[in-house]
Amino acid sequence: MTLKTLKSSTMAEIIQEDKHKGGKKKPKKHSTAIDMTPMVDLMCLLITFFMLTTAFSKPKVMEIVLPEKIKKNEKVEPPKIADSRTLNIIVGSNDKVYWYPGKPDPAALVPLQETNFSATGIRQVLLDRNRALFKKIEQFQQDVISGKLNIRQDSLQSAIRQLKKDDDTGPIVLIKFYKKAKYKNFVDIIDEMSIVGIARYIITDINWIEEGMVETALGIPHTSVAPAGTAKK
């Protein structure tokens, strides 16, 4: 019963509408196309996000190799290096670096030179001493880029390593750290070595003389004293 009435009523409506159509009213035309612009916008955004995060999420690494530790019962003669080629760098606190040439001598203290990590700071000091090797490496890389030398990318690194190995004029840099030095500066100074192309550098422990020198430069009382009798390693 209900179904029948429903049917009949709809039928009637259609007929009625048809009657309307017969008049002047035009039927509404619905377009089948949907506006996709917002969707495209969102997708663009997401794609850019995923592209950028996948490409740049990998952090870079800087390699350092430290010399093997000398075992307690092993006797190894420390390598002899020329004082004239030695450059001591002490990384201090507050982004300051101190340097002095030669060997620390408690009798005749060399004043520390203070500088920083800017492009005109410690980099120039190192560059002044390492100019020959730096120029050689730069020239070599230029030749490879311009096509004068035909070398594969992986052998380029070993060629540069060989250049560094053969170098005998550049400085031998001893890097030491004051106890208040930050890890950031630790990375900075090793980074400077690779920027300037220093062939020989080593990270060693600071000794009491140098600690005193830094403290004098900072204007604070000395915290370390000379070890009694035995020389500090």
Task: Give 18 or 68: the residue with its C-beta nearer to other proteins.
Answer: 68
Find out whether 91 and 195 touch, Cβ atoms under 8 Å.
no
- Among 187, 188, 194, which residue's Cα sits nearest to residue 161? 194
Task: Give 165 or 180: the residue with its C-beta nearer to other proteins.
Answer: 180
How far apart CA 178 and CA 191 sit, in angstroms, is 18
Task: Give 17 or 138: the residue with its C-beta nearer to other proteins.
Answer: 138
Find out whether 156 and 224 touch, Cβ atoms under 8 Å.
no
Task: Give 28 or 69: the residue with its C-beta nearer to other proteins.
Answer: 69
Q: Which residues contact 192 (CB under 8 A, 6 or more apart)?
A: 117, 122, 123, 126
- Would you tell me the crossing angle of helices 122-146 and 153-166 to the nearest 10 degrees? 130
Task: Give 53 or 84: the residue with its C-beta nearer to other proteins.
Answer: 53
> CB count, 10 Å around CB of 94?
10
How far apart are CB 96 and other proteins at their closest, in Å?
13
How far apart are CB 127 and other proteins at their closest, in Å?
6
Q: Which residues contact 121 (CB under 8 A, 6 or more apart)?
A: 97, 115
Site residues, other proteins (CB under 8 A): 33, 36-37, 39-40, 43-44, 46-47, 50-51, 53-54, 57-69, 91, 119-120, 123-124, 127-128, 131, 134, 177-184, 186-188, 190-191, 194-196
- Among 211, 221, 218, which residue's Cα sits nearest to residue 179? 211
How far apart are CB 32 and other proteins at their closest, in Å?
11
How far apart are CB 7 and other proteins at their closest, in Å?
39
Task: Give 40 or 220: the residue with its C-beta nearer to other proteins.
Answer: 40
How far apart are CB 182 and other proteins at their closest, in Å?
6
Q: How far is CA 72 from the centre of its chain?
A: 35
How far apart are CB 144 and other proteins at their closest, in Å?
16
| 3-class DSSP assignment, residue 125 | helix
What string of DSSP letters covers 145-175?
A: HHTSS---HHHHHHHHHHHHHH--SS-EEEE
Task: Give 33 or 145: the residue with its C-beta nearer to other proteins.
Answer: 33
How far apart are CB 101 and other proteins at their closest, in Å?
19
